Structure 1
Amino acid sequence: MSKPVVAIVGRPNVGKSTLFNTLAGERISIVKDTPGVTRDRIYADVTWLNYNFTLIDTGGIEPESGDVILSQMREQAEIAIATADVIMFITDVRQGLQDADSKVADMLRRSKKPVVLVVNKVDSFEKYMADVYEFYNLGIGDPHPVSASSMLGLGDMLDEVVKNFPEGAGLEEEDERPKVAIIGKPNVGKSSLINRLAQEDRVIVSDVAGTTRDAIDTDIKYNGKEYVFIDTAGLRRKNKIKEEIERYSIIRAVTAVEKSDVVIIVIDATEGVTEQDAKIAGIAHERGKGIIIAVNKWDAIEKDNTTVKKHTEKIRQILSFMPYAEILFISVKSGQRVNKLFDLIDVVIENNSMRVQTGVLNEIVAEAVAMQQPPSDKGKRLKIYYITQVAVKPPTFVIFVNDKELMHFSYTRYLENRIRDTFGFRGTALKFIIRERKEDK
């Protein structure tokens, strides 16, 4: 199931972040607690009616001069056009229609992507409606008057956004082929990896070009089975500052991860795991995807018989929030172990969608509880009544207990490890939901 992506574009001070934060609500706090996940809010999960989508803030603009603003807005629009299913173009009723708005509107119109035009800061519909109509001149459809700070008009705007989702997006998909996102910082060898995987078998079924020259899904057949690889090679521009490149690669990563079943995080063996690798890995972890860490350029490392062990320990230490991830040392250049990726992808997908019978789960938990007493507080001990699996991708379990407060993170982790001892679940996160049940039931 792939979630639609909605991107926000607009000039400085039109209220983009206010709108972003209002729509993201408190759900965004999940992002803060996950190690390695970006602290600056670039993306958030939003639910409207029965639709779930990912909202992306394409970036802040430094208001220096008109020219700079326009070039940065064009950049935002390019990112949005490349990654989003629907674009929200935010304008400001009080500043009125500006030259930069018109130029960006032209660009968005040519992209043929659905655009929802939002006119913000309309605190009173009576007072401002005449000014809202001015925005019809942009030629990208009806302006939707809202006030992000007073939360007016948001429902109608969201109705319009979800109307534009691709057919069946946010609902189950027909395409059964495994979708694999290849993510990582710029220049770690993501595109070369896809080329290598494709060339070895010489059956690129087709190159489905995305909206721009750089969003490409490649179909690859291996041992008679088809896979779709999603590449996140970004816009390569020489004079970009580091933060922008980083922000952009994170936006691309979120989009690719959202569409995939399995994520391959490519890391440069000569550099080890960097902070940006950890951020990007955190996104895949938070999304509950199957995860493989491919350590590329392994041919460039001087080796003795402890090299693999040392590197593995180092990776595990930095990416300690995903101890389940599979690690594979490869060299795209020489082709070493690259084809092993296909076997791993199969294993990880199988684990990510594995179901365990309730009876068996409860036996494992009963045994685990007998071996290690649940925690207690002020004389009250945690009781675990029952566990059942409620979802796959990622495997999700509900544990019924007498008191949620007593269920410490460490005890949940202990139970997770016992379940993993039995079923493996290699390469996939497991999700646990703790529910309280009153004693008398």
Structure 2
Amino acid sequence: MSKPVVAIVGRPNVGKSTLFNALAGENISIIKDTPGVTRDRIYADVTWLDHAFTLIDTGGIEPDSSDIILSQMREQAQIAIDTADVIIFLVDVRQGLQDADSKVADMLRRSHKPVILVVNKVDSFQKFMADVYEFYNLGIGDPVPVSASSRLGIGDMLDEVVKHFPEKAEAQDEDDRPKVAIVGKPNVGKSSIVNKLSGNNRVIVSDIAGTTRDAIDTDIRWNGKEYIFIDTAGLRRKNKIKEELERYSIIRTVTAVERADVVVVVIDAKEGVTEQDAKIAGIAHERGKGIIIAVNKWDAIEKNDKTIYEFTRKVRETLSFMPYAEILFISAVSGQRLPKLFETIDMVIENQTLRVQTGVLNEIVTEAVAMQQPPSDKGKRLKIFYVTQVAVKPPTFVIFVNDKELMHFSYVRYLENKIRESFGFKGTSLKFIIRERKESD
């Protein structure tokens, strides 16, 4: 089940990033292995009471002149409208109600998405309340006063936000067709793949980078089985500066990945694997999705008997944080190996939902421990009491040990490799949670 997405929209300097940081706080996990994940802090996983959601900051694009500000804000608002389940519209009590605020409010109102109007920089409720009421004029509901920098009123604001999340039961009975997100840089042929699979040109494609419209869901039947393909489209404007394009496409990627069971990362064979590919793949890896790397335009490459090995080696090197990902060489134009894509998707989904019995799991771990002694420190050795699988999508294991500090990352990886040797788990990441227990327990 995918988490709700909440986006923050607002004029420059109203405090979007301050609010983002206040909410994301300690929740931003720094994953050493995943490139670029923490550098672009556009999104974070946030938990409030028993609700988990993905928070998106559309800020960071701070234009200088006022007419650009408006068009940029519209662009940001549009992205929030397209991708978010709930929108936080941030305004500034000290600057008061501005023309740009009203124009964006109109767009948000027409979107029929839930909008929470949040008035920032209210450091004292007594002093500023009269100014807060001015924002009723926007006509999008009751303003919620907060101070992002001193974290006042944040709880009340989050209570309003989570009211709009779908009920848990409601969210559970979504359809169970496999959801596949097609992600990658602009122009690697994402839409062409979806078109070829669905046998019609419903996604508008041309050779200009960023010409696809929004993320479009396409239902595709293959061998009597239905799949939903989520195409993370590019952007409307073609003349945007490159960094913004990347930033926006990352936002779209995050929301598509959030909804998917399996993520197909498309790489351009002619360009080779790049840092941006690693960034995009990192989002899927971080979220524990099933992953297939599809090298597209393979028909356009001059080949000899070593080409495939060379290319595979480069992909494995650049994406070294996900050695489990499956690699396919395809062509959207000729349809080469596209049937193999469905077989691989089915296999990855099977592995994502595979459950291993505790008894069998512990036999493997006991054997692994016998083959390679666990680490020790100052005479104290790590003891592994037992291991159990607690979840699927991704398969998640809890390892009970005598001392968490002794459980080195490298030893977890060693155990992971042993578990993979026995059960495969091809195409999916595995998650390990280390818990401490006393000897006497």
**Do both proteins adopt the same fold according to a TM-score greater than 0.5, normalized to the shorter chain?**
yes
Equivalences for residues 38-437 of structure 1 within 5 A:
38-168=38-168, 171-199=171-199, 214-437=214-437
Alpha-carbon separation, structure 2, partners of 1:386 and 1:421: 19
Report if the CA contact (8 A) 1:38-1:279 is conserved.
no
Shift of the alpha carbon at 1:62? 2.2
Listed one character per residue, the Cα deviations across residues 243-301 of structure 1 (whole Å, up to 9, x for unaligned) are: 10000110000000000000000000111111111001000000000000000000011
Shift of the alpha carbon at 1:319? 0.1
Alpha-carbon separation, structure 2, partners of 1:155 and 1:3: 20
For 1:228, give the aligned amino acid: I
1:32/1:151 Cα in 2 relative to 1: closer, same or farther (>3 Å)?
farther
For 1:269, give the aligned amino acid: A
TM superposition score normalised by structure 2: 0.95
Report if the CA contact (8 A) 1:400-1:437 is conserved.
yes
Alpha-carbon separation, structure 2, partners of 1:64 and 1:174: 44
Shift of the alpha carbon at 1:126? 1.3
Shift of the alpha carbon at 1:167? 4.6
Shift of the alpha carbon at 1:371? 0.8
TM superposition score normalised by structure 1: 0.95
For 1:77, give the aligned amino acid: A
Report if the CA contact (8 A) 1:145-1:153 is conserved.
yes
Alpha-carbon separation, structure 1, partners of 2:173 and 2:2: 8
Report if the CA contact (8 A) 1:266-1:296 is conserved.
yes
Report if the CA contact (8 A) 2:33-2:321 is conserved.
no
Say what the alpha-carbon RMSD is for the aligned residues: 1.7
- Structure 2 unpaired stretches of 5+: 203-211
Alpha-carbon separation, structure 2, partners of 1:366 and 1:404: 18
Report if the CA contact (8 A) 2:17-2:59 is conserved.
no
The corresponding residue for 1:209 is none
Listed one character per residue, the Cα deviations across residues 357-413 of structure 1 (whole Å, up to 9, x for unaligned) are: 000000000000111111111211111111000111100001011111111111111
Bigger mean CA offset, 40-49 vs 26-35: 26-35
Count of residues in Structure 1 that have an aligned counterpart in Structure 2:
432
For 2:105, give the aligned amino acid: A
Shift of the alpha carbon at 1:35? 3.0
Shift of the alpha carbon at 1:160? 1.2
Shift of the alpha carbon at 1:38? 4.5
Alpha-carbon separation, structure 2, partners of 1:203 and 1:109: 32
Report if the CA contact (8 A) 1:183-1:266 is conserved.
yes
Aligned-partner SS, 1:30: coil
Alpha-carbon separation, structure 2, partners of 1:32 and 1:247: 21
Alpha-carbon separation, structure 2, partners of 1:169 and 1:21: 31
Listed one character per residue, the Cα deviations across residues 186-239 of structure 1 (whole Å, up to 9, x for unaligned) are: 00000110011101xx799xxxxxxx9523111111111110010111214221
Aligned-partner SS, 1:265: strand
Overall identity of the aligned pairs, in %? 82
Alpha-carbon separation, structure 2, partners of 1:303 and 1:221: 33
Alpha-carbon separation, structure 2, partners of 1:318 and 1:203: 33
- Structure 1 unpaired stretches of 5+: 205-211
Report if the CA contact (8 A) 2:213-2:235 is conserved.
no
For 2:339, give the aligned amino acid: N
Bigger mean CA offset, 217-226 vs 56-65: 56-65
For 2:95, give the aligned amino acid: Q
Alpha-carbon separation, structure 2, partners of 1:319 and 1:60: 27
